[in-house]
Structure 1
């Protein structure tokens, strides 16, 4: 989808403006929230340790089991529950990528179910599958498992994995598997309006961006 087909406002409404850098300070968090409000995005996505925050007009997303996914499921669930108690309205959890690669899909299901039960139905649950590290057949299976476990979205990437971030191919595969029933969040390495537009055309319904202002500048004003 060409960038000139989408308006800046339409794309902004799909963005989780993200700050998950380990070196982020309280001042950085405040600046990210202020920028998110100025840009009119959907949400800010912040590390759980910085919660609670004041972000009127924005959804507050956070992460669990981030970025490796190698935390015990109960730890992920506890982290997610605490974040919700501190004001998070959306949780992006990382699966155990190694379990998925090994074909241990029961463990992946239990992992997601544990977090879903920990936060109940009060929040939007996004499942980060680290798509760049998985073969296509595993991407499909993990998306199906996320749907079975009650997730609201599947998400491509943490943005921290050496295999890479979001790709048009992975987003299209995810959308073909669960699109229309679950949201598809593309995240990791999205730097231009053209990249964002291509991911939306492939089926992304949410974008995780740290360079939101730069990306939005490439779309036409309303």
Structure 2
């Protein structure tokens, strides 16, 4: 297992500095992580820093609440794509889920999938924020993800009341099946954490402690996004 290829090396703190982003990108290139996951304001810089590597530039959309209207999220997504992002992690409208407005959830998800028409190779991940959802709601969103052919369902923003759990990852994998991949994020701090979620079916791990995770010892210096 090439554990590094599962990792989205992440820095999404509000006070992230340019120096910190440069360090993140340098580490990602050195350790050959799957991607860096950064706020939209740093997409251009990350794209410049990683242009000679195989590390993808991932950014977040509608982050962290998911409460913007779909048109605003799509505008944000298109801007990020124009600046060089190749993966988008967007937060679904959690209120729509809680209100049972699943047609709205599907319409928004389909709008994101539609971006792939003009951007071959684009990867779209929808963040469920599972700490706020019931099992039935998680299953329903995963079914919609299968119907719309989105690439990934993702557990958490890392800014909610809880992060990834074994129960949520297993449920998402069972509901999404083989058609949709699963990303575990939020509280993933150690190599053991990462391997646990991979065994449950996750194919991406979002974490601020990527370097610690692939080292021989389980460091816990990251915030665990």
TM-score (norm. length: structure 1): 0.91
Note if 1:49 corresponds to 2:41. Answer: yes
Unmatched tracts of structure 1, length 5 or more: 1-6
Question: 21, 24, 31: which one pairs with 2:23?
Answer: 31
Q: Deviations over 1:24-57 (max 9, x none)?
A: 1111111100011112211111111112132132
Q: Structure 2: which 5+ runs fail to align?
A: 219-225
Query: What residue number does 2:97 align with?
Result: 100
In the other structure, the counterpart of 2:222 is: none
Quote the residue 1:216 is aligned against: 214
- Superposition RMSD in Å: 1.5
Aligned pairs, how many?
A: 211
Q: Is the 8 A contact 1:192 1:215 kept in 2?
A: yes
Partners of 1:85 and 1:150 lie apart in 2 by 23
Contact in 1 for aligned 2:28/2:36 (Cα 8 Å): yes
Secondary structure at the aligned position of 1:41 is classed as: coil
**Aligned: 1:161 with 2:149:** no
Partner of 1:81: 78
| CA distance in structure 1 between the partners assigned to 2:95 and 2:79 by the alignment | 26
- Once structures 1 and 2 are overlaid, which stretch shifts more, 104-113 or 151-160? 104-113
- Structure 2 distance, partners of 1:22, 1:43, is 20
SS in 1 for 2:164: coil
Structure 2 CA distance for partners of 1:94 and 1:84, relative to 1, 3 Å:
same
Answer whether contact 1:179 1:203 (CA < 8 A) is retained: no
- Structure with higher RCO (Cα < 8 A, 6+ apart): 1
Structure 2 equivalent of residue 125 of structure 1: 124
Q: Is the Cα contact below 8 Å between 2:127 and 2:156 reproduced in 1?
A: yes
Q: Distance in 2 between matches of 1:36 and 1:153?
A: 21
**Shift of the alpha carbon at 1:203?**
0.8
1:119, 1:64 → 2: CA distance? 15
SS at match of 1:160: coil
**Correspondence for 2:88:** 91
